Amino acid sequence: MSRDVAFAPALAARPVSPAAMARLGFGHAALDARLEGGLVVAALHEFYAASPADGAAAAALALMLALRCERPGPILWLGEDRERLEGRLHGAGLAELGCDPARLLLVQAPDTLALLRAAAEAVACSAACAVIIAPCSKPAALDLTASRRLALAVARSGVFTLLVRAGTPLPSAAQSRWQVAAAPSTALAANAPGLPAFEIGLLRHRGGLAAFSLQLEWNRERRAFGPVFSGAVPAAAAERAGFAGRRRVA
């Protein structure tokens, strides 16, 4: 009997750890069912802005998902120092989304290389609840090799890790890839501003799930996403986000 064959039964019988199987749902019943429970926690997930104007929407969606993670510890937000010119997180805005600003640890790196080095250390720290990596000034630096290193570290630590990205999607080791665009919200009573709304689309999934898109909104009281009250997505918004013609989740 060959050595490989001898070890095959043992490898097949090796149990999968609960941490590797844990999933984090959006709180949207139809979406979570489509994802078989949600996103794998111990994995990388990418959120691409549908356009330059949707960068804030992609970042906000990533933060909202991190807020749903029940793992103890801080949420690490890693970005480059150029955020001083392009905009920073705002405490009052974070509170409005249901986030305690004191829970965030902000890391500002001087350049892309330093950002990736900081990210490698952050995702390996099992004391963190989640890690959000803001867009790089040099997206090509976060290539397949760099993302694979991050993915392996995440698999070991179990830290929920989200990559907020811009531009054309690049090859990576992310377990899922999404496109995010801001969507019109439904006004509340007395024409008060509605809940934050998004148009999201699954572009790629290592589990073999087919691409789909849907609109959802964030409820800060429940810290969960749900269907938009109005239901239908304006055609102009769907076309702008590049989702026209995609199959939708009921």
Q: Which pLDDT band, with edges at 50, 70 and 90, does 67 fall under?
A: very high
pLDDT for 171 equals: 95
Q: Which whole number is the average pLDDT over 104-133?
A: 94
Q: Is the pLDDT of residue 3 over 80?
A: no
Residue 84 banded pLDDT, cuts 50, 70, 90: low
Q: For residue 82, is pLDDT > 70?
A: no
Mean pLDDT of 84-93: 66
The C-alpha atoms of residue 237 and residue 157 are separated, in whole angstroms, by 38
Q: Cα(77)–Cα(131) distance, rounded to whole angstroms? A: 6
Residue 246 has pLDDT above 50, yes or no: no
**Rounded to whole angstroms, what are the CA distances from 50 to 34, 130, 152?**
22, 23, 27
Cα 175 from Cα 166, distance rounded (Å): 17
pLDDT, residue 81, reads 83
On the question of pLDDT at 94 being above 90, the answer is no
Give φ, ψ of 172 to 5 degrees.
-155, 170
81 touches 108 (CB < 8 A): yes
- E strand residue ranges, 122-175: 130-133, 160-165
| Structure confidence at residue 99 as a pLDDT band (50, 70, 90) | confident
Give bridge partners of residue 199 from the DSSP assignment: 181, 215
Query: Which structure tokens are listed for 161?
Result: 């890790």
Residue 134 tokens read as 């803001």
Predicted confidence at residue 113, as pLDDT, reads 94
Beta bridge partners of 182: 198
Indicate if the pLDDT at residue 65 is higher than 90: yes
CA–CA separation, 112 and 140 (whole Å): 10
| Token digits of residue 10 | 């043992």
State pLDDT tens for residues 137-193: 899 999 999 999 999 999 999 999 999 999 999 999 999 999 999 998 887 777 777
What are the tens digits of pLDDT across the range 202-235?
999 998 999 999 999 999 888 999 998 744 444 3
**Higher local confidence (pLDDT), 87 or 174:** 174
Catalogue all structural domains in the chain, each as residue range(s) with its CATH number.
Answer: 19-241 (3.40.50.300)
16-62, pLDDT tens digit by residue?
355 557 999 999 999 999 999 999 999 999 999 999 999 999 999 99
Nearest to 165 by CA among 180, 145, 149, 153: 180
What pLDDT, on the 0 to 100 scale, is given for residue 15? 40
pLDDT digits (tens, 9 = 90+) for 132-152: 999 888 999 999 999 999 999
124, pLDDT greater than 70: yes
* pLDDT of 12: 36
Indicate the helix (H) or strand (E) that contains 106. Answer: strand 104-109
